[in-house]
Every structure is written in C-alpha cells, then in structure tokens.
Amino acid sequence: MIRAITFDFWQTLYADNMELLKQREDHRAIHCKEFLSKCDYQFTLEQVKHAYQMTHEMVSEAWQIHHGISMEECISKFSETLGINLTPFQENQVKSITGNSTLLHPPPLVPFVKDLLPQLIDKYQLGIISDTGITAGTFLREMLKNDEILDYFSVQTFSDETGFTKPDVVQFKKTLQKMGINPSEAVHIGDLVRTDITGAKNAGMYAIRFAGVTTEQENADLADATISDYRKLEDTIKKLMCSK
C-alpha cells in the first residue's frame, strides 16, 4: 500500500525554460554588479557573469558525483573567481540577489499540480526531494509558499542543505525516515532517469517518471510507470498496486 508520494521540484512540480533561466542570469549579474560597485568593487558585467558561470560549473561537477553544494560554498566560489573577500554582510547580500532572481522570475507550476495536491493530501503524506543548483532550498520554499502549496509537503529535502544529490539513496531514505514511511510504501515522481528514477528504485521505492516537461530520457523503461498528465497520477498508482 502506498502511503507517501515524494516529488522532484524542477520539471516535475515546476516547468522551467531557457527564457526564464536567461532572465535570472541577467538579473543576478546586473544587480550583483551594482551591489559590488557600492562596496567599491568595480567589475564589468561580463566578469560577474563569468563568476556565476564558474559557480554553476562547480555545482554541476559536484552533482555528477552526487555531492550537494551549499549556498555558502557557491558564494565562496563566486568571490574567489572575482578575487575578492566578502564580509558576512556582503555574502548575505549576494546570496539574496542570487536567490531572489528565481523568485522574481519564477517558473510556472506544471498544469494540474495545484488542483491535484489537495486531493492527494487526504490519502498520502507528501514530500519534496530536489537538487538545488545555485538557488538555495530556502528560496525554493518561498516559491512554494508564494504559490500556496508549501503546506502540502510535510518534508522538503534540498541538496544544498544535506550535502547529497540524487541519485544518492541518502536523499530518499532520510526523507522517508522523517515521514515515518517505509520505502516500499512510497512512490517518487521525477523527470530524470539518472537521478530520480534510479535513486528511488535503489532506495526501495516505486518510481514514476513525469514526462510532461522533460519528454525524452534514455532508459525511461526503468521507471515503474510514466505519466505526462497529473490527472492520471492516482489511476497510475492504483495500477501499480494491482500489478504487484
């Protein structure tokens, strides 16, 4: 019997796109350049963008070996690339600029998510297991709050706070422990086979691939099921239970 459902964040609850990514990148660079200028650090926009790019690359390399990078490590890499030493106040300001760019240019919720959650909460515990990039989990919670869905999720697990990324089973097992749920009683929903599906299966959970945003994935048949429309989720879970 399924007692809990965990969701990935990006491309599963929220549908991000390249246009929004570009808007965030520009916002971060412009506003961070302006702030650093007030601190008597003079950099070109390209230099600031380069520092952010180096930070992204650090996070991506760590992601490949299942290591979660904290926001503090991101800011450290950013300032190191620029060759400056930021005060704690300045670090917090850069962190705010970085995170707020996502809140000011947020991705939309995937269709039917907001209607589905009130129905699910009556039957299942709900959680989030997400890798964060350079946007800290603190800001992702704010996004969930802004969209009035944060309270549906009893546990939110973000890689910048745990030091691990999917598919490390630590992310899944610690989330379920907090929920008081056995892996065999839970299903994880995510878009990426390498992280979401593989990690959930290795943790002993059921795994459903959400293909409504990320449509193509190699080895997609590793998932127990695939959906592209959340209106089909509950029927899909019922079918999974009947087939076991």
Res 17: pLDDT: 97
Global pTM reads 0.95
- If asked whether residues 59 and 129 sit together in one domain, one would say no
Res 244: pLDDT: 65
> Is the confidence at residue 243, as pLDDT, over 80?
no
- If asked whether residues 86 and 119 sit together in one domain, one would say no
- Choose the final residue of a domain: 69, 104, 139: 104
Is 183:176 a contact under the CB 8 Å cutoff? Answer: yes
DSSP string, 159-183: HHHHSB-TT-HHHHHHHHHHHT--G
Closest-CA residue to 230 (of 243, 218, 213, 205): 213
- If asked whether residues 125 and 167 sit together in one domain, one would say yes
Structural domain range at position 31: 18-104
- If asked whether residues 209 and 150 sit together in one domain, one would say yes
- Choose the final residue of a domain: 65, 80, 104: 104
How far does Cα 44 stand from its chain's mean position?
Answer: 30
Using pLDDT thresholds of 50, 70 and 90, give the confidence band for residue 241.
Answer: confident
- If asked whether residues 98 and 146 sit together in one domain, one would say no
